[in-house]
């Protein structure tokens, strides 16, 4: 007797997804129905994410923790909805593929369990549900990622400490600025091939820049109004190169001399950057200071220092 296809009741049930893939060979019709349900769940999840992203901005109670739990909630809701009436997509897929296969999909070699077409239906469900750090090399930013603010700080700390020593500024200020520019590493600009640009400070590529570059949307403040624009930014081959160029960028531009003169005062350093035209956001310096004084950054840096981690030489 063939075991029934496993039903994934929670989106974190990666073992169940793997089991589904392995049982395709023994129960193609049941597996087809289950895979169709998984695809419908993914579609609902993408729809919910698009609705979240269409919001006008963050709420006063929003934080990295609430965003994490909100994403978990959306994923679970998508699975629960698909297991009830759903949107009808799963049933439509089953009917269409079964019709193509002569009743149950098993008579068509293209829809046989071992065929590339059928296997292609199974693979995306498991790949989409798995966390980013467990995916293959086709994921965005395959050569760098941060799963959490804590991981972001830990990864950047050695580079920030070395660059801060060169500039005479507190490394916390550089981490906070990088967190602001990239959303704690979640929005690092990517090259067309998906690899990271390692641009953590939003440095644009003007006519003087001779290195690689990426084009990305950016938010600028013009005449007191927030506007979305497209601009060219510098791209680097590594974290170390990105931080090194940030130091060189400030030290080689006379307009940032006052910021470097205030390097000993992190708040004064951030304010001087804004006054020199580093960013158009009038709250840029205040946001950096808020991140610096936030519990997340302070707690993680304390843990790093207590562990005895040393900056890169």
Please identify which of the residues 220, 229, 248, 275 carries the catalytic annotation: 220
Cα–Cα distance, 245 to 210 (Å, whole number): 12
Does residue 219 surpass a pLDDT of 90? no
Q: Of the ranges 46-50, 93-97, 260-264, which is most confident? A: 260-264
Mean pLDDT of 232-254: 95
HEC readout, 205-265: CCCCCCCCEEEEEEEEEECCEEEEEEEEEECCCCHHHHHHHHHHHHHHCHHHHHHHHCCCC
Supply the mean pLDDT for the chain: 74
Asked if 75 contacts 47 with a C-beta cutoff of 8 angstroms, the reply is no
Q: Is residue 193 among the annotated active site residues? A: no
What are the Cα distances from residue 171, in Å, to 57, 163, 175, 235, 261?
29, 8, 6, 22, 16
What are the Cα distances from residue 136, in Å, to 46, 116, 143?
20, 19, 11
Write down the pLDDT at residue 144: 77
Mean pLDDT of 178-204: 92
What are the Cα distances from residue 125, in Å, to 41, 79, 241?
9, 12, 37
Does residue 17 surpass a pLDDT of 70? no
Boundaries of CATH 1.10.530.10 in the chain?
Answer: 149-307
What CATH number does the domain located at 149-307 have? 1.10.530.10
Please identify which of the residues 40, 74, 181, 245 carries the catalytic annotation: 245
Q: Is residue 220 among the annotated active site residues? A: yes
Per-residue confidence band for 168, with pLDDT thresholds at 50, 70 and 90: very high
Kindly state the percentage of the chain with pLDDT values over 70: 56
Cα–Cα distance, 203 to 308 (Å, whole number): 32
pTM of the model: 0.55
Per-residue confidence band for 255, with pLDDT thresholds at 50, 70 and 90: very high
- Number of C-alpha atoms within 13 angstroms, CB side, residue 72? 9
């Amino acid at each position: 007797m063939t075991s029934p296809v496993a039903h994934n009741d929670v989106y974190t049930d990666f073992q169940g997804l793997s089991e589904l893939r392995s049982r395709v060979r023994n129960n193609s019709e049941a597996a087809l129905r289950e895979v169709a349900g998984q695809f419908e769940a993914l579609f609902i999840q993408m729809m919910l994410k698009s609705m979240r992203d269409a919001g006008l901005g963050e709420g006063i109670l929003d934080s990295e923790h609430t965003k994490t739990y909100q994403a978990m909630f959306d994923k679970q809701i998508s699975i629960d909805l698909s297991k009830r009436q759903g949107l009808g997509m799963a049933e439509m897929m089953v009917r269409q593929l079964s019709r193509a296969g002569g009743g149950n999909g098993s008579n068509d070699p293209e829809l046989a369990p071992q065929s590339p077409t059928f296997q292609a239906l199974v693979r995306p469900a498991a790949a989409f549900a798995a966390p980013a750090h467990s995916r293959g090399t086709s994921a965005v930013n395959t050569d760098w990622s941060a799963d959490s603010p804590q991981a972001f700080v830990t990864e950047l700390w050695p580079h920030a400490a070395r660059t801060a020593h060169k500039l005479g500024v507190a490394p916390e200020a550089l981490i906070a600025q990088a967190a602001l520019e990239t959303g704690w590493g979640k929005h690092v600009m990517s090259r067309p091939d998906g690899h990271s640009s390692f641009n953590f400070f939003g440095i644009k590529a003007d006519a003087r820049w001779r290195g690689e570059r990426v084009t990305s949307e950016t938010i600028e403040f013009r005449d007191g109004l927030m506007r979305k624009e497209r601009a060219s930014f510098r791209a680097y081959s590594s974290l170390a190169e990105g931080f090194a160029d940030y130091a060189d960028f400030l030290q080689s531009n006379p307009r940032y001399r006052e910021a470097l003169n205030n390097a000993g005062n992190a708040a004064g350093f951030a304010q001087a950057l804004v006054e020199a035209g580093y960013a158009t956001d009038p709250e840029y310096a205040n946001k950096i200071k808020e991140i610096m004084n936030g519990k997340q950054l302070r707690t993680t840096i304390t843990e790093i220092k207590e562990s005895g981690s040393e900056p890169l030489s």
